[in-house]
Structure 1
Amino acid sequence: MNRTTTRFTPIDPDLYATAFQLLDPAPEPDVPAAPVAPAPAVLTVAPAVHQPGPVEKTLTDALAFLDTRGWAKHRLIHPEGARCSIGALRAAAGTRNAAYRDAGNLLLDEARRQHGKQWDAIPTWNDSHTGPQVRSVWEAAIQRAHHLNI
């Protein structure tokens, strides 16, 4: 029998260890990460939400009352629930407070601007005009209260 001599190239004994480390690396030691500069904050400004003042709210609520329950002439409260302008103001304000008084004064002032200076009270002005004329005064008074922020 002849012996065959083989000449194997010697291998690096750490070769397999290195290969396995590349395939399945050991966890890296906990090294604190370098501080990251914070991203610049993006501030968005929400649109301003209008908060109606007490006079504007009283006028708006009163007009909404007229829109839902109906508008009346010659009586404070109609048997079916409709009201005149002063009745709607009373319903919206709940009590005869400062907002009620100021809303009434603003409404009467706007009535005088649109329909003449002769009106001395809301009921007489209300009873002497049509629904669209009365509504126009209400809307203008609400706009004035809004612009005056009251």
Structure 2
Amino acid sequence: MNTQTQNDFSPLDAGLYAAAFQLLDPQPVAPEAPSAPVPVPSSPAIAPPAHRPGPVEKTLTDALGFLDTHGWARHSLIHPEGARCSIGALRAAAGARNTAYRDAGNLLLDEARRQHGKKWQTIPHWNDSHTGAQVRSVWEAAIHRAHRLGI
């Protein structure tokens, strides 16, 4: 490789440029005899960290999964065929009225108020006054919000 010492720089000292380029482009050296390839140690593939949902996101996701599996109901906590209303699904997913259950319920109701107005005081009242598609939209938005908040 030959590096030209002529350039568009305003020359202060042409010898300085020649010396600098000589350091960057030394005279070629005779090639060495090929050596055996050096094995590269293999490292396990590093997978991106798996998402670990917080307790609120997990409760909401599990409850929506319950609704998807068993069905959604209005005007009844538990329908005789197993479908549940939103609060019934939350209770089934949480297993107990614990902190995750309360926080998930508060987030779900807050999202219902965002989408359908501030007048809703309880999850059952909101659930019974909307269509399945409207209810699902609120569930999905609440899950997305819990994910963003890391809760």
TM-score normalised per structure 2: 0.71
Alignment-mate amino acid for residue 103 of structure 2:
D
1:126-145 mapped onto 2 (5 Å cutoff) = 126-145=127-146
Gaps of 5+ in 2: 1-37
For 1:88, the equivalent position in structure 2 comes to 89
The answer to whether structure 1 residue 75 and structure 2 residue 76 are counterparts is: yes
**Runs of at least 4 residues off by over 4 Å:** 40-44
Distance in 2 (alpha carbons) for counterparts of 1:147 and 1:48: 16
Give the C-alpha shift of residue 41 in structure 1.
6.1
Alignment-mate amino acid for residue 60 of structure 1:
T
SS at match of 2:142: helix
For 1:117, the equivalent position in structure 2 comes to 118
Higher Rg of the two aligned structures: 1
For 1:10, the equivalent position in structure 2 comes to none
Give the C-alpha shift of residue 73 in structure 1.
0.4
Distance in 2 (alpha carbons) for counterparts of 1:42 and 1:63: 39
Give the C-alpha shift of residue 46 in structure 1.
1.2
Pairs aligned (count): 114
Distance in 2 (alpha carbons) for counterparts of 1:39 and 1:62: 48
For 1:45, the equivalent position in structure 2 comes to 46
For 2:58, the equivalent position in structure 1 comes to 57
- The Cα offsets for residues 96-143 of structure 1, whole Å up to 9 and x where unpaired, read as 000000000000000000000110110000000000000000000000
Distance in 2 (alpha carbons) for counterparts of 1:137 and 1:49: 25
For 1:101, the equivalent position in structure 2 comes to 102
Distance in 2 (alpha carbons) for counterparts of 1:100 and 1:83: 16
Give the C-alpha shift of residue 45 in structure 1.
2.9
Give the C-alpha shift of residue 62 in structure 1.
0.3
Alignment-mate amino acid for residue 145 of structure 1:
A
SS at match of 1:120: coil
Give the C-alpha shift of residue 43 in structure 1.
6.8
SS at match of 2:147: helix
- The Cα offsets for residues 65-87 of structure 1, whole Å up to 9 and x where unpaired, read as 00010100011011111000000
- The Cα offsets for residues 24-66 of structure 1, whole Å up to 9 and x where unpaired, read as xxxxxxxxxxxxx884665743112000111011000000000
Alignment-mate amino acid for residue 132 of structure 1:
A
Distance in 2 (alpha carbons) for counterparts of 1:40 and 1:81: 56
